[in-house]
């Protein structure tokens, strides 16, 4: 979670320990870590669940940090599919703006499990996301999303079509994510993402896919 103090950067999509096999940070500690780095706000976006939302929110407020409630929601029937991660269903990040957004986020998170019991992984069809878009901000998903893998694979037309669908559903509440962890897939996707964003007048947002409080924890967690 480390960042340069005073640069104004805010993490929007920290994965807590409730993201099984991914996050290693206790939900109640995220706010304290953010406060220690001078961040006025921080977001937790666990994969397909909101289990840590209350614990995170209360602890963040106690630490003087504004909690941002989000979810890394696995989506089906839009864009491409991941092929190199343990979880094959791509995710987009949905951030609750208000109470309506929170209720819609809860509905989508529940549907990811209840509506996909016959599938190997949780997931919701894109059409359901469109129906529950009110009060939510959408981030395109980064390297784990349904778009980056298409740009990285040279499927530009398909990638742009998926981004068009996201913009149509969320309007000015849609942001294109850029991540720079030094991965080849990120470098391959970035030119296409930036080009579409400028062509379509959609803002870019820089995010980090945070799994650990400190980089040194990665080795022991992934062992």
> In this predicted model, what pLDDT tens digit does every residue of 92-147 receive, in sequence order?
999 999 999 999 999 999 999 997 666 678 999 999 999 999 999 999 999 999 99
Which residues does 14 contact at the CB level (< 8 Å), separation at least 6? 1, 23, 25, 30, 42, 43, 44, 45, 210
Query: For residue 158, what pLDDT is reported?
Result: 97
Whole-number mean pLDDT of the chain? Answer: 91
> In this predicted model, what pLDDT tens digit does every residue of 56-91 receive, in sequence order?
999 999 999 999 999 999 999 999 876 545 557 999
> In this predicted model, what pLDDT tens digit does every residue of 162-216 receive, in sequence order?
999 999 999 999 999 999 999 999 999 999 999 999 999 999 999 999 988 866 5
Residues 41-54 have a mean pLDDT of: 97
Domain boundaries, the chain: 27-218
Topology given in CATH for the domain delimited by 27-218: TIM Barrel (3.20.20)
Task: Give pTM, 2 decimals.
Answer: 0.92
């Amino acid at each position: 979670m480390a960042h340069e103090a005073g640069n104004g950067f805010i993490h929007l999509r920290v994965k807590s320990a409730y993201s099984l096999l991914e996050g290693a940070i206790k939900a109640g500690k995220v706010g304290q870590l953010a406060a220690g780095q001078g961040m006025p706000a921080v977001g937790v976006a666990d994969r397909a669940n909101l289990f840590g939302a209350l614990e995170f929110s209360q602890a963040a407020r106690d630490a003087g940090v504004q909690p941002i409630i989000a979810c890394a929601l696995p989506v089906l029937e839009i864009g491409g599919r991941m092929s190199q991660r343990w979880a094959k269903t791509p995710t987009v990040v949905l951030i609750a703006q208000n109470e309506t957004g929170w209720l819609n986020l809860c509905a989508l998170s529940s549907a990811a499990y209840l509506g996909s019991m016959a599938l190997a992984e949780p997931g919701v069809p894109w059409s359901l996301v469109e129906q529950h878009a009110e009060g939510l901000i959408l981030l395109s998903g980064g390297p784990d999303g349904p778009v980056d893998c298409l740009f990285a694979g040279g499927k530009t037309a398909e990638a742009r079509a998926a981004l068009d669908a996201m913009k149509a559903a969320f309007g000015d509440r849609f942001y294109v994510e850029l991540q720079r962890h030094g991965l080849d897939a990120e470098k391959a996707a970035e030119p296409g993402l930036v080009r579409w964003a400028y062509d379509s007048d959609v803002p870019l947002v820089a995010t980090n896919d945070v799994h650990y409080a400190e980089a040194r924890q990665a080795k022991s967690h992934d062992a």
